[in-house]
Amino acid sequence: MAKRVQFRQHGGPEVLEVVEFEPNAPAENEVQVENKAIGINYIDTYVRGGLYPVATLPSGLGTEAAGIVKQVGANVTAVKPGDRVVYAHGALGAYSTLHNVPVDKIAPLPDAISFEQAAASFLKGLTVHYLLRQTYEIQPDEVFLFHAAAGGVGLIACQWAKALGAHLIGTVGSDEKAAIAKSHGAWATINYRQENIAQRVSELTGGKKVRVVYDSVGKDTWEASLDCLQRRGLMVSFGNSSGPVNGVNLAILNQKGSLYVTRPSLQGYVTTREELAHASNELFSMLASGAIKVDVPRQQIFALDEVQQAHKTLESRITQGSCLLIP
């Protein structure tokens, strides 16, 4: 028997339960992975809470983990039993000891990268890759704004921006988080609890503002983000940690300088095995070289049975970087 986390109805962390189940053999083009470390992502709270409702309940949760291949289905040749692998953005159910995953979502994991590093960085690192390298290609010396710079995605973005020679201005919620973001490569930080975001961006750029803003916060930062943009600048809205942006008046984009807005997701950028290989190879190179380091604080590592507390901790917005479940 294996164990997994499931929920029978949408709601708070209390709806999560750990149950035993009999895993099916992997189907054609599937790989069964024995998870060694599981990534916890903010999007998991959207699924659990119903912002992104699931079609069938009870449902598993989570899409990211690293582990060892146990079995492979028919037609699978890319990996074999015993291989170290990592996966993300597949079918729900990664919060488990065993999980069957489509082979197209699987990436071989280099020996130089631990299971914990991989599970803490794969989804977040692929997200940073599509944001900084594809949605808008950040150039050396470019100044840009990135919200929640001390979060799991944000700390990877800080390091990746530094490796590119770019200047990331990161918003944070405390002086402690500002120090952490700067230690990871942020060029400047803005404490949104104490400072006016748009005013500080204008000051930091000599009144020029920025060409692109990356915003995973949503409702609380929407207006401020638009006010940070240059004429014909790009607003990249890729999350809703403060709630979704609703009732947008498109005329405001004209009024604030003929702005562009996009709402991207990883599924729009990594849709084929070739695209996954390209993005994951860039990420693994960054990790192996030390340009990106992923250190998960001990207090953000939870046993599978502690999943409710893990989600409470994540939603408290006091975390720094990534959180993990260890089966």
Of 213, 235, 264, which one is at a domain's C-terminal end? 264
Q: Which residue among 235, 264, 293 closes a domain? A: 264
Residue 101, pLDDT score: 96
In a domain, 25, yes or no: yes
Q: How confident is the model at residue 319 (pLDDT cuts 50, 70, 90)?
A: confident
Confidence of residue 155 (pLDDT cuts 50, 70, 90): very high
The pLDDT of residue 258: 97
Is 254 in the same domain as 291? no
Q: For residue 166, give the CATH number of its domain.
A: 3.40.50.720
pLDDT attached to residue 42: 86
Amino acid 249: pLDDT: 87
230 and 200 in a common domain: yes
Least confident of 34-43, 194-203, 244-253, 262-271: 244-253
Query: pLDDT band at residue 49, thresholds of 50, 70 and 90?
Result: very high
Report yes or no on 128 lying in a domain.
Answer: no
**What is residue 248's predicted lDDT score, i.e. its pLDDT?**
82
Classify residue 126: in a domain, yes or no: no
Instruction: Name the 3-class secondary structure at 157.
Output: helix
Same structural domain, 194 and 211:
yes
Mark whether 260 and 279 lie in a shared domain: no
Considering its fold, how many domains does the chain have in total?
Answer: 2
Residue with tokens 């503002």: 209
pLDDT at 318: 77
CATH of the domain at 284: 3.90.180.10
Q: What is the mean pLDDT of residues 67-88?
A: 96
The residue type of 32 is Q
Q: Which residue range forms the structural domain that includes residue 8?
A: 2-121+271-326
Percent of the chain surpassing pLDDT 70: 100
pLDDT of 244 above 80: no
Distance CA 45, CA 22 (A): 26
Q: Mean pLDDT in the chain?
A: 94
Pairwise CA distance, residues 234 & 238, whole Å: 12
Q: Letter for the amino acid at 55? A: A
Tell me: do 295 and 259 sit in the same domain: no
Say how far apart CA 232 and CA 213 lie, in whole Å. 12
Contact 85, 109 (CB under 8 A): yes
Q: Rounded CA gap, 10 and 181, in Å?
A: 33
Answer yes or no: is 169 within a domain.
yes
Q: What is the mean pLDDT of residues 186-214?
A: 97
Same domain, 7 and 48: yes
Same domain (yes/no): 154, 217: yes
pLDDT (average), residues 124-140: 97
CB 287 within 8 A of CB 117: yes
Among residues 214, 234, 264, the one where a domain terminates is: 264
Do 206 and 289 fall into the same domain? no
Which residues in 307-325 are b (16+ Cβ under 10 Å) and which e? bbebbebbbeeebbbbbbb
Shared domain check, 287 and 252: no
